[in-house]
Structure 1
Amino acid sequence: MFAEENGLRGDPRLQAISEAIRVVPHFPKPGIMFQDITTLLLDHKAFKDTVDIFVDRYRDMDISVVAGVEARGFMFGPSIALAIGAKFVPLRKPRKLPGEVISESYVLEYGTDCLEMHVGAVQPGERALVIDDLVATGGTLSAAIRLLERVGAEVVECACVIGLPENKLHSVWGIHRGRTGYDRTMVPVSAGFLLLVMEPCKQA
């Protein structure tokens, strides 16, 4: 569900959020349009508005876990978790967490990667929200959902600030809750979603 389809159509905060995100061409390699959210973090009002939009949506959904995807999910997740009275659980890259972990691999364009979570951080039956800054193919979100579902959590939604329009996200996000299955190029259909902006427009 895009923000404009979620009662936010015409909300001036969305344009301000979009304009606060810097787009850096050809970083970290040629052909990549890097979505730099550090400029959003520098804008106190736009950053607060971003968090507030998520908090307004999730405060009454009985969510007990906010799971942030490394690394930029860590920038939004803790603030949202505090505001809605949930715990924050980091989903980290391999070998970053001490102690016993549970892992979930996912496919990249040229190889694989992995997310890890502490064993015992999430209990069976807990309701979880997954937070990241951006969704492209949906592979990372897929892994996050699988990881949480393996320990018995219910993933209520995934929430991202940015979506990349060149990946035809309208079809990705248009899948309805209730169907089954996963695809590495699509957000898992077992969870809902909220996406704030499709096309940040402030180039460096």
Structure 2
Amino acid sequence: MRELQHQFGNRLEQRGLLHQGLFRPLRDQRQPDWQEAAKQRGQALLQPITELVLKFAQMAVPALLDAALESTRAPSGMFGKLFRRPAAPAEYKPALTSSRAQLLQLMADSEAAVRNLEESAHHLSLHGAALAVASKLVGGAADAALLDALVQRRTLIQQAVRQAELSILQMGQVRQQAADLIGQVSSFLTVTLPALEMAQAQGGS
């Protein structure tokens, strides 16, 4: 049985089925170490998208855009007219221009990150299918440890694929929000702000 285990591990290596440390040769018997390493590599696969989602949240573009739009409205009530001193709409132009550039860059970076993660998830799915076949082949073997190792690896791969799918879905939602914000910011910069500046110029003449 040890010979079968050794041969199976070699075949996986020859066929290129060892992916990102999630599918190591079965001759490695240090299960706790292998599982921890697999989890770390699984997290590394998701790291680019995780960082992009965090970056999008830190931009706080919706709050900036709301403040810019609020600056275009006249103060309401006596208290607001006396004490409210909002920033002029034009003062938001540099920050919004920078935010739009960052959003456009995020769209480009996220497209590449999603594509890479989709490819990784596809490869992992193939590995999971290979493990399912291997489990059936050794199902009747006397070596219970070998079968248990196969099951553990397949479970970890299934979890990694599911996490990748969830990350891709989350990034898709972020990309949609980013695209909407790009449109809103562009509208403020190219339509709302020029109209206000024109109105002010006409009022001052």
Computing the radius of gyration over CA atoms, which structure comes out larger, 1 or 2? 2
Q: TM-score, normalised by structure 1?
A: 0.20
The structure in which a higher percent of residues are helix is 2
Question: Which structure has more RCO (C-alpha within 8 Å, separation ≥ 6)?
Answer: 2
TM-score under structure 2 normalisation? 0.20
